[in-house]
A and B are shown apart, each in its own frame.
Chain A
Amino acid sequence: MTLDKKPILSVNNLQVEFPTRKGNLVAVNDISFEVNEGEVLGVVGESGAGKSITGSSIIGLIDPPGRITGGQINFLDQRIDHLSAEEMRTIRGKEIGMVFQDPLTSLNPLYRIGRQLTETIQTHLHLDDKNARLQAINLLAEVGIPSPEIRIDHYPHQFSGGMRQRVVIALALCANPKLIIADEPTTALDVSIQAQIIALLKKLCKEHKTAVILITHDMGVIAETADRVAVMYAGKMAEIGNVYDVIKKPKHPYTVGLMNSIPKMGQDTEALMQIEGSMPRLNEIPQGCAFHPRCNQVMEQCKKTVPPMIKLEDSNIACWLYPSK
């Protein structure tokens, strides 16, 4: 299955903490994963799992007082987790693009979208005004905005939600980045628009050979878009694998519970399988495996020691049910 795919991003033992007056909260606890060139990696988890913070730490935009306290992030053979703000700014936008959830806040309501596009293009690609504008029009056409030469001079409020998100994707693709981090890009959209945006993202990334880290809580979006999936729980990685393996043959009890609790069409069950309790808050993470209080296959070892991430066929899994050899 794995050809000689080159990882363009590798995260090793990343640790992100938030110091508060009541102690250190660990938001991301020793996670490691890779993203290969041109692939879509889905990072899925429920609210509080730490997936958004993972995305923010890669791009250097963690809200203070949070900070990276351990591990390494390597992007294109360069270590980026401890770069200065200035250096990070040159990478952000040019090599790594970002698509956020709410297009209303991603676009400046006071600027015409043409201006925002050309500004980004000229910062990273050093084109003159005329060519930057042409490039912007091309990008708008590529993301499916009708009559782009007219709409380039419109303000964000003149676009609908789905159209705005297309503009945001265009902005992210401006400088032809190698990696795009999309944090819940379709959550605020209707289901039919969601389908359009997902299809657009897939098409563009294939054409531009851009890798995508797709952060979402929606398993359906992952199923449609991702090549590989990483499942996060309480700041740790539970399972990473091919999208088919994780969805159809999940190994980690949390993933199993998650997949079974999603109502599926055509399924004729009386009750959905439910996982008792809820994800622990950052200041109440249990000892050992964070999932053990809710796990229906819990063992003594799970309560005491954190399971390491081991490789099992094509997946990586952190669970004492699958001991390393």
Chain B
Amino acid sequence: MGPILKVKNLSKHFDVSPPLITRLVSREEKSILKAVEGIGFEIQQGETVSLVGESGCGKSTVARLVVKLYEPTNGEIFFGNQNFSSIKSRKELKPIRRRIQMIFQDPYASLNPRWRVFDIIAEPLRAHGIISDKQGLKRRITELLEQVSLSSADSEKFPHEFSGGQRQRISIARALASQPDFLVCDEPTSALDVSVQAQILNLMKKLQKELGLTYLFISHDLAVVSHLSDKVGVMYLGRLVEWADTKTLFQAPKHPYTKMLLDAIPDLNLSGKARTPVAGEVPSPINPPSGCHFHPRCPWSNERCRTELPTLMDQQQQSVACHAVEENRI
């Protein structure tokens, strides 16, 4: 059976030019923000794949492209065997929307403050015509709430009566209502306290086993990613720079940026190991550096890195987009 999600050459550009009149007066050029450029990967059923990177790398944009909150500028997205990036009509999209759902980062903004929890979770059931009678809805919502360790009495309350962790559980219950196969999770635990994060991560793992879910997990927290994922993709300024299964990535990273990221993580084992000094900051994505975007911060960059963009190439255990790796310099 093929992959459940396949992304080919995906790009998303935003036009962030100043208004027409400003441009005419001050003779500024159009500005294009290339949030995502040339991304390609596959996810198999039942896997958890993570996309990691720092702010501005485009991982959240990829998440929104996959659930069609944004339309891609280029490239294709295949869900199952369907090329659903080309589908425009809402009617045709509906059956796919049943199968892909999303969980968001901010537990305080992802639930409508004016709706009761019952209606929030019932919304996908009503929208897809899965259940419409009151009794049936009640039954299913109770089932969903209990699945996320809440109770049926909670369905009468409003979101503000719950803590951040509980709200995230409600979001998960809502996402699971239409029995999806595929969940896109955009930093679902970043806004939560560490002990609550542990509860939510354990819940997500349990649900994956029980319901056979596939996750695309977006995060900036590498420790969380190492705990949860099967495969990891590292993004920098809109491009995929490394792709490997979790163990390989964390034990034998190849791309200089991946190494830098791993080194920057605080060491909770207090082993006192030496760390490579970290240099510079993420440049603006509107005017990225030429050639390999990482070259200004890379200790191994050479002339080729300054002029030529590296492509993602398979290297035994992982795929890396780096000239130095290709040339066996590191």
Interface residues of A (CB under 8 A from B): 46-47, 160, 162-163, 190-196, 198, 217-221, 223-224, 243-244, 247-248, 257-259, 261-267, 269-276, 278-279
Task: From known contacts A192-B278, A261-B194, A263-B227, infer whether A272 and B201 are also in contact, taking CB-CB under 8 Å.
Answer: yes
Contacts of A266 in B (CB 8 A): 226, 250
Those of B191-223 within 8 Å (CB) of chain A: 193-199, 201-202, 205-206, 220-223
Q: Is the CB of A278 within 8 A of B261?
A: no
Residues in B260-282 with C-beta less than 8 Å from chain A: 260-270, 275, 278, 281-282
Q: Given A261-B198, A263-B224, do A190 and B282 touch, yes or no (CB 8 Å)?
A: yes
List chain B residues, Cβ under 8 A from A278. 163, 165-166, 193, 195-196
The interface on chain B, measured as residues whose beta carbon lies within 8 A of the other chain's beta carbons, has a size of: 40
Q: Is the CB of B202 within 8 A of A191?
A: no
Whether A223 pairs with B202 at a CB distance below 8 angstroms is no
**CB neighbours of B264 from chain A (8 A):** 191-192, 194-195
Task: Name the contact of A271 in the complex, choosing from B202, B224, B270 (C-beta under 8 A).
Answer: B202
Task: Tell whether B54 is near chain A: CB-to-CB under 8 Å.
Answer: yes
Residue of A whose beta carbon sits closest to that of B202: A271
Partner of A262, one of B54, B260, B267, B268: B268
Whether A217 contacts B198 by the Cβ 8 Å rule is no
Residues of A within 8 A of B267 (CB): 220, 223-224
Task: Indicate whether B55 reaches chain A with its CB closer than 8 angstroms.
Answer: yes
CB atoms of A274 and B260 under 8 A apart: no
Partner of B195, one of A162, A192, A193, A274: A274
- What are 19 A-to-B residue pairs whose CB atoms are below 8 Å? A191-B265, A192-B278, A195-B278, A198-B266, A218-B266, A219-B268, A220-B265, A221-B266, A223-B267, A243-B270, A247-B270, A259-B268, A262-B194, A263-B198, A265-B223, A265-B265, A266-B226, A269-B227, A271-B205
Query: Which B residues lie within 8 Å of A191 (CB)?
Result: 54, 220-222, 261, 264-265
Known contacts A190-B282, A223-B268; A270 and B205 CB within 8 A of each other? yes
**Residues B268 and A264 in contact, CB atoms below 8 Å apart:** yes
Name the B residues within 8 Å of A221 (CB-CB).
266
A107: min CB distance to chain B, Å: 17
User: A163's contact among B201, B220, B278, B281, by CB below 8 Å, is which?
Assistant: B281
User: With a CB–CB cut-off of 8 A, which chain B residues contact A271?
Assistant: 202, 205-206
- Cβ A265 vs Cβ B222 within 8 A: yes
> How long is the Cα–Cα vector from A23 to B173 in the complex, in angstroms?
36
Contact assessment for B265 and A275 in the assembled complex, using a CB-CB cutoff below 8 Å: no
Question: A160 — which chain B residues lie within 8 A by C-beta?
Answer: 281
A281 nearest CB neighbor, chain B only:
B163
Give the Cβ gap from A26 to chain B, nearest Cβ, in Å: 20
Q: With A191-B220, A220-B268 known to touch, is A275 a contact of B195 (CB < 8 Å)? A: yes
- Contacts A190-B282, A259-B268 supplied; 17 other A-B pairs, CB < 8 Å: A46-B193, A47-B193, A163-B281, A193-B281, A196-B278, A223-B267, A257-B195, A258-B195, A262-B223, A263-B227, A263-B228, A264-B223, A266-B250, A267-B226, A272-B201, A275-B195, A278-B193
The complex places the Cα of A220 from the Cα of B201 at a distance, in Å, of 19
Q: Which residues of B contact A196 (CB under 8 A)?
A: 278
